[in-house]
Amino acid sequence: MTENAVVSRRGKVLTMDTINPSVKKVEYAVRGPIVQRALQIEKELKEGAKKPFTEVIKANIGDAHAMGQRPITFFRQVLALCSYPALLDDPSFPEDAKSRARRILQFCGGGSIGAYSASQGIDCVRQDVARYIELRDGGVASNPDNIYLSTGASDGIVTILKLLVSGEGETRTGVMIPIPQYPLYSAALAELEAVQIHYFLNEERCWSLDVSELRRSLEAARQHCCPRAICIINPGNPTGQVQSRQCIEDVIRFAAEEGLFLMADEVYQDNVYAEGCQFHSFKKVLFEMGPEYYNTVELVSFHSTSKCYMGECGFRGGYMEVINMDPAVVAQLTKLLSVRLCPPVPGQALMDLVVNPPQPGEPSYTTFLMERNMTLNAMAEKARLTEEILNTVPGIICNPVQGAMYSFPKIAIPKRAVQEAKEKGVAPDMLYCMNLLDETGICLVPGSGFGQQDGTYHFRMTILPPTEKLKILLDKVKDFHQRFTQQYS
């Protein structure tokens, strides 16, 4: 074979024509084009470019520490001790932090968090998670064997979706997801070539969930796929609502009647701010509904170290609890998890601290409680502030931020702007958010990245920036919206 022949056959094996077509369908708005533009602007600012602002304020993602939230002291102390056990002899560390670190290390291979753990997670952490769930749910029993530690909640969610998806054509698995939704769900379902079944939350009633809408969505879906699961995000992302106990009961009853696997994304369970709102876990409500439900409904619930008052996104800690899963499927789940060996062990250690924090009488308790309460109280104040300021802007309507870390206000976009967006081949709220970024340095995510009712436009913003910076952000959004409306009127 000649050298020229070798060269001629040396084209790229992997091209846009040969790549897995499912990957091309995956979209993740939270880190999409708007964020790429924000990073480019940051680079331009560092290189001395003159702009009408001096920094990019990223309110696009629920990354608390990136927004300046301080870590919980006790958590970092124990993680430091676990990472460098020589510090166990340092008298500056409190004894309760040392005892936690020793217990975690005792269950690690070779006494090191650098060792692999069991695929399901460290035994003592799963035991602590089970105790935490029992305490949270008023004594409802939790079995450590039903607890699976994960790489953040997202890893557990994707794993369960992998188990659920099967069939071809009209028998292909359909999964019910809320609209607006967190793009992890649409992205994972696209990658798995599953069918997304959209059910709409009621914006007029503070993003509440109506069973009649679930039934409408389900019946329509049965014409072209096999619905097998329903996902609920409570408290809501991107919508910030907290579902009532009655709503949760209605969803469980619906899942039981229709034979659906129930996935409860509860990663914001400590983030509840609005008066009269309360977090109710799906598991607790399920067991309060009686044996005809708690013996039959298949439920998996998810939690994470990334949200609530912790905000420890980078450690990638999480867990899921499975209820009523077929034992043969449990074996398949364990096999699937073993392929990725184990979740990050530092993340598992952090999850243990979240579910087993300092207790009254321990040296670290007072500081822990103060830091926790300060963080949650600040978020509650910022939730109120966000709603209050945005609702003073003509053309913006913001529902109460009852929980989680986001607002998802509706924005009025003039017809001329809608037409311009159409000509540019982008969604109108993408045009809005790009202009906002270029003019003010504020990075928000267009509502089209989460799904929304046709003819409505939104953006999602986090409430995580420090209060003073959040006020600046909201004032800039207010001024921009007025300019944008005038420009395109």
Taking only the tens place, the pLDDT of each residue in 404-438 is 999 999 999 999 998 988 988 888 999 999 999 98
pLDDT classification of 169: cutoffs 50, 70, 90: confident
Residue type, 486: Q
> What mean pLDDT comes out for the span 27-40?
72
For the segment 59-72, what is each residue's pLDDT rounded down to a tens digit?
888 888 888 889 99
Q: Is the pLDDT of residue 1 over 90?
A: no
- pLDDT, residue 127, reads 96
Task: Identify which of 183, 269, 262, 184 has the alpha carbon closest to the alpha carbon of residue 229.
Answer: 262
Give the H/E segment covering residue 362. none
> What mean pLDDT comes out for the span 242-247?
94
Strands 459-462 and 406-407: antiparallel
Q: 431: Cβ–Cβ under 8 A, 6 or more apart, which residues? A: 417, 420, 421, 424
Tell me if 420 sits within 8 A of 400, measured CB to CB. Answer: no
Lookup result for tokens 């509840």 = 272
pLDDT classification of 26: cutoffs 50, 70, 90: low
Q: Rounded CA gap, 300 and 157, in Å?
A: 9
Q: Is the pLDDT of residue 2 over 70?
A: no
- pLDDT, residue 329, reads 87
- pLDDT, residue 23, reads 67
Q: Rounded CA gap, 363 and 369, in Å?
A: 11
Q: Rounded CA gap, 153 and 162, in Å?
A: 15
CA angle centred on 213, ends 209 and 215, rounded to 5°: 120
> In whole numbers, what is the pLDDT of the chain averaged over residues?
90
- pLDDT, residue 14, reads 65
How far the first Cα of the chain sits from its last, in Å, is 67
CA angle centred on 184, ends 183 and 188, rounded to 5°: 115
> What mean pLDDT comes out for the span 462-472?
91
Q: What is the DSSP string of 239-275?
A: T-----HHHHHHHHHHHHHHT-EEEEE-TTTT-B-ST
> Could you tell me what percent of the chain has a pLDDT over 70?
94
Q: Is the pLDDT of residue 28 over 80?
A: no
What is the phi/psi pair of residue 230, to 5°? -130, 135
- pLDDT, residue 22, reads 65
pLDDT classification of 5: cutoffs 50, 70, 90: low
Q: Is the pLDDT of residue 384 over 90?
A: yes
Q: Is the pLDDT of residue 33 over 70?
A: yes
For the segment 445-460, what is each residue's pLDDT rounded down to a tens digit?
989 888 888 889 999 9
**What domains lie within the chain, and their CATH numbers?**
21-68+378-488 (3.90.1150.10), 116-355 (3.40.640.10)
Residue type, 477: V
Q: Is the pLDDT of residue 128 over 80?
A: yes
Q: 177: Cβ–Cβ under 8 A, 6 or more apart, which residues? A: 185, 186, 189, 196, 197, 198, 199, 231
- pLDDT, residue 60, reads 83
Strand partners, 232: 264
Q: Rounded CA gap, 308 and 153, in Å?
A: 13
pLDDT classification of 338: cutoffs 50, 70, 90: confident
- pLDDT, residue 480, reads 93
Q: Is the pLDDT of residue 281 over 70?
A: yes
Token couple for 329: 């499927």
Lookup result for tokens 């430091």 = 80
Q: Rounded CA gap, 58 and 420, in Å?
A: 26
- pLDDT, residue 86, reads 93
Tell me if 26 sits within 8 A of 187, measured CB to CB. Answer: yes
Q: Rounded CA gap, 283 and 246, in Å?
A: 14
Q: Rounded CA gap, 341 and 318, in Å?
A: 15
For the segment 46-58, what is each residue's pLDDT rounded down to a tens digit?
888 888 888 888 8
Strand partners, 229: 175, 261
